[in-house]
Amino acid sequence: MVVIVSFMTYLFSSVTSPKIVYIPQGSVFKSISHLQSEGVNLYKFDAFILRLLGQPQQGWIDIKEEKMSRIEYLYRLTTAKAATRQITLIPGETSIIFLEQLSETLSLDKDLLVSAYEKHAPYKEGNFVPDTYSIPNGISEEDLIIHLLNESDKKMQRWAEELNTPFEKEKWLQIVTKASVIQKEAASLSDMPYVSSVIDNRIKEGMRLQMDGTLNYGEFSHQKVTARRIRTDRTPYNTYKNKGLPQYPVCNVSKEAIAAALNPADTNYLYFVRGKDGEHIYSSYFSTHRKNIVNATK
């Protein structure tokens, strides 16, 4: 009798949780462990109860309330689903523009999104993985940013493994920074290794990169880079004035740009200009480069 009473007391003890929770793919024990890491007061024993009730839903779940009995909470994990909306982050987009898109699409507070990003993002830029995300209605700004950053970090770790490179934070930041310049400059996926080679060759020669794409950072993502902008921009992103790569990435990058950063084409190219067909024309000598510019602008 005492055991039964204790068990019933446990089942009807209260659980406090965010209304919107995310359940990753995996076992019941993994689901409970994930919720524990999110601050929900669950225990290993709850995994056995949950297994009796059914399989937890995967993805976003709308629990509806922040506080309820343990048995009700575990039951809702097996039955509830949150209504979601999709939003796509394209390769080469900057985080501030993406946050604006999130604000508009999901009716979230932009200032709170920016504040949460600045609080939780390890770097100023390049923390998100371009992808299509399903976002639940009703999620808070901070929970959304934390989720996107966590998912992006996991994907980048998989990229590093697939590309046979260590996922060491500082080294990875340098790789993403180079990849972001490639992402902004390349005319196509096949173009990326060649842009990568120009970056390496110019740095090796002690030349400034002088690439417009590095000035398409932040809010300037879609603005045309003018001669006046080149003269007046005094940030570390201005590769007309500063040698080497910028201190931080210029944008969020694709796996293809990362691969190109790691595996540049074997060339002697130092220059390129976009031709009339939209493809880049490469050259090793400035005299040839000037002729290519004239031909491209006729």
Query: What is the Cα–Cα distance from 240 to 212, expressed in whole angstroms?
Result: 8
Q: What is the pLDDT along the chain (298 residues), one digit of tens a residue?
A: 677 877 788 888 888 888 888 888 888 889 889 899 888 998 888 888 888 888 888 888 888 888 989 999 899 888 888 778 899 999 999 999 999 999 999 999 999 999 999 999 999 999 999 999 989 888 899 999 999 999 999 999 999 999 999 999 999 999 999 999 999 999 999 999 999 999 999 999 999 999 999 999 999 999 999 999 999 999 999 999 999 999 999 999 999 999 999 999 999 999 999 988 888 999 999 999 999 888 888 7
Q: What is the pLDDT of residue 207?
A: 97
pTM above 0.75, yes or no: yes
Phi-psi region of 206 (alpha: psi -120 to 50; beta: other; left: phi over 0): left
Q: What is the pLDDT of residue 84?
A: 86
Query: Helix 169-185 crosses helix 192-204 at what angle (to 10 degrees)?
Result: 110
CB 143 within 8 A of CB 137: no
Q: What is the pLDDT of residue 9?
A: 84
Q: Which residues pair with 281 in a beta bridge?
A: 273
> Quick one: DSSP state of residue 290?
H
**Strands 84-88, 67-69: parallel, antiparallel or unpaired by DSSP?**
unpaired
Q: What is the pLDDT of residue 168?
A: 93
Q: Which residues, in sequence order, are CB contacts of 51 under 8 Å at separation 6+?
A: 28
Q: What is the pLDDT of residue 60?
A: 86
Q: What is the pLDDT of residue 203?
A: 98
